[in-house]
Structure 1
């Protein structure tokens, strides 16, 4: 059962007539674009966005929400920050925009009150986490969003799965979600930055940008911990194997847009170990497939990075994690050494993390919820492979810690507020804050 983002599909009357077919033919030279959120006079060079600026495909930009979005105005001379948009529920700003990478700069705060804003992009990618402002405090924050399409060239495109057709990752627009106890957004600027280095992610349901609550993966938490000097382009998808990732042309799409100096992170094993046409053996065909990914990356001047797969939540009688992934993590470790390729040993770090949490508390990192936690949920959810936002957040920290400690060329992109992470001492679940997004899906993602 799904509770869809029906607000995204709302149509309405936009207060600015010239917005029709916005951004359909834009190029890099058309940016930056600037938007003034609120209801007061709009400064020169900005496009007004009010609660009546409702998104439709034809209008090309605007607000989407199933709840009321308020315009608050303050008695200030600065037209840009004296008014803002806010809501008691998450609300979305959509804008039709070409495929590319964009620096998004948002101005947050209330001149006469406090604010608390979390920003997610596209399929719930965490970009800004719980940005708090005091009275009279206005802050400006920037982050980078990868906007893409399935198209590879005039003849080819990624073979998307049926469920992906509804994903916000693959549509022809940028989607930003503003949530938290009191999000206050006064302006937004979009700038094309297609020359920045890119970290491409290839993997399965433990990596993908999960669109629906309560599912989450480390790949969609990863951007939060990086500076706005690098792009994260997450091409992972649930149920994927190395063979399927190639066969559906996901790798070909990555390679078609890869530049010298970009990175390709690869995490596969959960589905590759299963019987069937996509099965590969750890020390032969599994390594051969990974070599193909690495060699194609190198041909384009890119840097391959191997990531061992996260453990499943399976404990023995002594409270230790059982290795259900068999020899695949070790095969990747040996391949990384043989090929002199950076390795992020997420398998080892996830073992430490889950054992530190213990058999019972580790449920808090996975999709384990009693019946009636979510609308229409008449049965408990108990999944020992897929993570909830807390678990995904902790695993993303494991990845960032490995980068910071072992790979200086990537460590320079780690955000300054990341103070390090020890999976043996995880963050408290009780202190973890995640504004729940409106879209809910009770059926678990592909893969196990």
Structure 2
């Protein structure tokens, strides 16, 4: 699919719309192992695409479809070539619209769509990095679509279109376990088409860290690590591959072989963001490290591993916990671990994101009460997954995780980390 941004169908029919048709001609016949195209909505698919109607359920033989759960509806607003309206557009007059005669591919992609409400679309793919293109819009209505990968990773900002506007959005995603799962929601979601293309050379931003960074499962909503909010802040030129795991320290992450797995996928030009500390501080012999010795020694192993493959390591100080003193100032819970990271960054000459300082400023500005909106402080009955409520001063809910991810993006700008800076949205 080429870009399909237009205020109305007549505007698109002149330039970008013609490009769509030409691109469809070029794309036909590409190997299915490298390229997957899906046309969403009732009726037959546009040529070169696979049909995904609202009743298209996933099965292993087919290798794609909507998983059980959620609701999926479909609309067909296409105009017939003779100018008469078909499906849901019958009897409706839209002045100024004019789909080019014979351009059935464009008419199909834009005029028919699925409305997925809390639904997950699954595609079976070989493991690897992919570029995904989403086409969304509706001739008659404003739309609002939310998209997550794997059920919890925010890969796009909220997608909004005005009535008559059709917009193409791209993002990069890493597939593990031979399965790509895209969860759709929103106030008025639309999915017109999807194109999935293998993109192994995409720059990858790897994350190593703990529960404050990890992709929390959808079943734990609204729990969220800042790493799962980060992909939405980058263009499709960057794939965020989050290897952070709850409960891990700089030591246990390595001793469990997780750094080895991460490095088996890293290539020259990639980035590795490293944030540990919360669990290094605990009195657990399997995880604890000393800030003056073993903590820095383990962190240095991440740095050396990245540099060995000509990737760029970036050290990050641990985010602050939500503990305030009687004067409303944030209490320090990390002790010598924060200065240890700063010292190591200077010693090794690698970039440093002082997230401890940035989150201290954020929490103190919000104050003891306002900062609860960032953390998992919830009332009984406020969220289905936590009916009894929650008071957690360490872990974020989605709002807070998104704010922290924004601070990381802010630091990328401040440090002028190229080409990451160039690829920020």
Residue 347 of structure 1 aligns with which residue? 356
CA RMSD after TM alignment: 1.6
Q: Please, which of 23, 35, 40 is the counterpart of residue 38 of structure 2?
A: 35
**Secondary structure of the corresponding residue to residue 409 of structure 1:** coil
2:158 is the alignment partner of 1:96:
no
Residue 9 of structure 2 aligns with which residue? none
Q: Please, which of 199, 211, 221 is the counterpart of residue 193 of structure 1?
A: 199
Question: 1:239 Cα deviation (Å)?
Answer: 0.3
- Could you tell me how far apart the structure 1 residues matched to 2:32 and 2:40 are? 23
Equivalent pairs, count: 367
Q: Is the 8 A contact 2:172 2:238 kept in 1?
A: yes
**Secondary structure of the corresponding residue to residue 335 of structure 1:** helix
Question: 1:413 Cα deviation (Å)?
Answer: 3.7
> Equivalent residues in 2 for 1:313-352 (5 A)?
313-352=322-361
Q: What is the TM-score of this pair, normalised by structure 2?
A: 0.84
| Shift in alpha-carbon separation, 1:237–1:408, aligned structure 2, 3 A | closer
| Shift in alpha-carbon separation, 1:198–1:129, aligned structure 2, 3 A | same
Q: Which structure: larger Rg?
A: 2
**Secondary structure of the corresponding residue to residue 128 of structure 1:** coil
Q: Is the 8 A contact 2:143 2:162 kept in 1?
A: yes
Q: Is the 8 A contact 2:377 2:392 kept in 1?
A: yes
- Could you tell me how far apart the structure 2 residues matched to 1:210 and 1:327 are? 28
**Secondary structure of the corresponding residue to residue 79 of structure 1:** helix
Q: Deviations over 1:366-386 (max 9, x none)?
A: 001111123374523000000
Q: Deviations over 1:135-194 (max 9, x none)?
A: 11111100001112xxxxxxxxxxxxxxxxxxxxxx430000111101111100001111
Residue 221 of structure 1 aligns with which residue? 229
- Could you tell me how far apart the structure 2 residues matched to 1:280 and 1:68 are? 48
Residue 107 of structure 1 aligns with which residue? 135
Structure 1 unmatched runs, 5+: 1-26, 149-170, 417-448
- Could you tell me how far apart the structure 1 residues matched to 2:168 and 2:264 are? 34
- Could you tell me how far apart the structure 1 residues matched to 2:182 and 2:135 are? 14
Q: Deviations over 1:225-277 (max 9, x none)?
A: 11111111000010011121112211111111111111111000000111122
Residue 374 of structure 2 aligns with which residue? 365
Q: Is the 8 A contact 1:37 1:83 kept in 2?
A: yes
Name segments (4+ residues, structure 1) moved above 4 Å. Answer: none
Residue 295 of structure 2 aligns with which residue? 286
Residue 236 of structure 1 aligns with which residue? 244
**Secondary structure of the corresponding residue to residue 293 of structure 1:** helix
**Secondary structure of the corresponding residue to residue 349 of structure 1:** helix
| Shift in alpha-carbon separation, 1:180–1:259, aligned structure 2, 3 A | same
> Equivalent residues in 2 for 1:163-202 (5 A)?
171-202=177-208
**Secondary structure of the corresponding residue to residue 30 of structure 1:** coil
Q: Please, which of 161, 171, 179 is the counterpart of residue 143 of structure 1?
A: 171
- Could you tell me how far apart the structure 2 residues matched to 1:147 and 1:101 are? 6
Residue 254 of structure 1 aligns with which residue? 262
Structure 2 unmatched runs, 5+: 1-29, 80-103
Q: Is the 8 A contact 2:54 2:73 kept in 1?
A: yes
- Could you tell me how far apart the structure 2 residues matched to 1:298 and 1:28 are? 36
Residue 8 of structure 1 aligns with which residue? none
Q: Is the 8 A contact 1:307 1:343 kept in 2?
A: yes
**Secondary structure of the corresponding residue to residue 176 of structure 1:** strand
2:309 is the alignment partner of 1:300:
yes
| Shift in alpha-carbon separation, 1:244–1:357, aligned structure 2, 3 A | same
| Shift in alpha-carbon separation, 1:262–1:378, aligned structure 2, 3 A | closer
Q: Comparing 117-126 with 330-339, which one deviates more in the overlay? A: 117-126
Q: Is the 8 A contact 1:28 1:192 kept in 2?
A: no
> Equivalent residues in 2 for 1:402-417 (5 A)?
402-416=411-425
**Secondary structure of the corresponding residue to residue 54 of structure 1:** coil
2:208 is the alignment partner of 1:206:
no
Q: What is the TM-score of this pair, normalised by structure 1?
A: 0.79
